[in-house]
Structure 1
Amino acid sequence: MDHNNILGVVLAGGKSLRFGEDKCQVKLGDKLLIDYILSEIIGEFEEVLLVTNNSINFKKSKKISLINDFKKNLGPLGGVLTAMKWVKENNKNYQWISTFPADTPFFKTHILREFLQTINFNESKLFFIKSNNIRHNIFGLWSIDLLEKLEEDLNKGDRKVEIWANKIGVKSINMHLKNQNPFFNINTKEELVTAEEILKND
């Protein structure tokens, strides 16, 4: 698969209710949390779209465009639809979007490469990474062909990624990963402390 057909998308529009502030803007070690995932994926795509509802800081790059959710309070599916609409409205040639959360500092480039290389793109219009029997619903590859159906279902009230994906028909790409959990995500201040410990011992 030609990666030029894929737009990288970081979903950073969450409310961070459990954290108490915009978690993607907190420092972990010497970097903002959001810069960890950006630094791992930016070399793999021609462009990366950062979907948020706030004015945020990040390590700037000509590759990165920052946009707001087209409509708030639609959850991650709203962010996915926002990215798809951006592709259409800007006459981009991307056929797929590859999505990532903003709060997973230990995800690595080689996992993304293996995920994309393993996919048979004729098997589905939606793929998620699965590891150790856990499906990671925000680490996904979504066909732009899903735009109309996604918008229709969001207008009907669908909000949960897992339920919508199962209804559409998602294919899980199972990956066997050892050592530390690259999908560890930070939702609370306690998990930030845990991440700091992991970082020190890495």
Structure 2
Amino acid sequence: MVDAIGVILAGGLSSRMGGGDKGLLTLGGVSLLGRVKVRLGKQISPVILNANGDPSRFEGLGVPVVNDTIAGFAGPLAGVLAGMDYAASQGATHIVTVAADTPFFPVDFVARLDATGADLAMAVTPDPERGQARHPTFGKWPVALRDDLRGALNDGVRKVVQWTKPHGCVNVEFDAEPFDPFFNVNTPDDMARAEQMIAEFEL
């Protein structure tokens, strides 16, 4: 039995990258998913992947693959639910999620969320206009809320904050200097920028 399971969320359509499996694109000689898996695996174990379609294309990653249990590409909350359902089958009490296209997330991400003592927590960074920028795919989630989340998804809820706010989600602020650790790769230009960041910050 484990207390928590790490979940890489890769259930999106990658439309801005032209479709296909963005996470399998190579960055600095390693796939995006490979980078995320290693970074998360140093902080929590075990790690699984949430992705839809044929799971065999991710065999090289060496982690279990779970599909959404809500049909129709219902967004990141559907991936969270899939992770919760898997975690429940393993006797885990929580999951910690990261996005498959965000290769430089903080190396103390899991520890910082755990340190709050909160059951439900989300990463944020300072934002000059809004005060804080939320990163809703980066969070800690209690498996005990999985039936509540399932009901919300079936009722049409898709926005993460719409579901987390009533449950008292705690924001955990991470520094955005010297670079934004939650920089995510959505376009070919973003991929080029990520390559620059690897060289510039020795990532």
* TM-score range relative to shorter protein: 0.7 to 0.9
Q: Which residue of 2 aligns with 1:129?
A: 123
Is the contact between residue 32 and residue 58 of structure 1 (CA under 8 Å) also seen in structure 2? no
Separation in structure 1 between the aligned mates of residue 116 and residue 168 of structure 2, nearest angstrom = 15
Q: Which residue of 1 aligns with 2:79?
A: 79
Q: Which residue of 1 aligns with 2:104?
A: 106
Separation in structure 1 between the aligned mates of residue 165 and residue 172 of structure 2, nearest angstrom = 14
**Which residues in structure 2 correspond to 1:11-90 (within 5 Å)?**
11-21=9-19, 22-54=21-53, 55=55, 56-57=57-58, 59-61=60-62, 64-72=63-71, 73-88=73-88, 90=89
User: What's the Cα RMSD here?
Assistant: 1.9
Task: Indicate how the Cα distance of structure 1 residues 33 and 58 shifts in structure 2: closer, same or farther if over 3 A, else same.
Answer: farther
For residues 74-101 of structure 1, the C-alpha deviation after alignment (integer angstroms, 9 at most, x for no partner) is 111111111111223x3x2211110100
> How many pairs does the alignment contain?
192
Opposite residue 184 of structure 1, the aligned amino acid is F
Query: Normalising by the residue count of structure 1, what TM-score does the alignment of the two structures yield?
Result: 0.87
Separation in structure 1 between the aligned mates of residue 176 and residue 86 of structure 2, nearest angstrom = 33
SS at match of 1:135: strand
Q: Which residue of 2 aligns with 1:120?
A: 117
Is the contact between residue 34 and residue 58 of structure 1 (CA under 8 Å) also seen in structure 2? no
Q: Which residue of 1 aligns with 2:129?
A: none
Separation in structure 2 between the aligned mates of residue 181 and residue 157 of structure 1, nearest angstrom = 32
For residues 113-135 of structure 1, the C-alpha deviation after alignment (integer angstroms, 9 at most, x for no partner) is 2332x2123xxx31101221212
Q: Which residue of 1 aligns with 2:168?
A: 169
SS at match of 1:109: coil
- Say whether 1:193 aligns with 2:187: no
User: What residue ranges of structure 2 are gaps of 5+ in the alignment?
Assistant: 127-131
Deviation at residue 71 of structure 1 after TM alignment: 2.9
For residues 21-65 of structure 1, the C-alpha deviation after alignment (integer angstroms, 9 at most, x for no partner) is 32111111101011111101113323111010133336534xx21
Is the contact between residue 11 and residue 100 of structure 1 (CA under 8 Å) also seen in structure 2? yes
Separation in structure 1 between the aligned mates of residue 180 and residue 67 of structure 2, nearest angstrom = 30
Q: Which residue of 2 aligns with 1:160?
A: 159
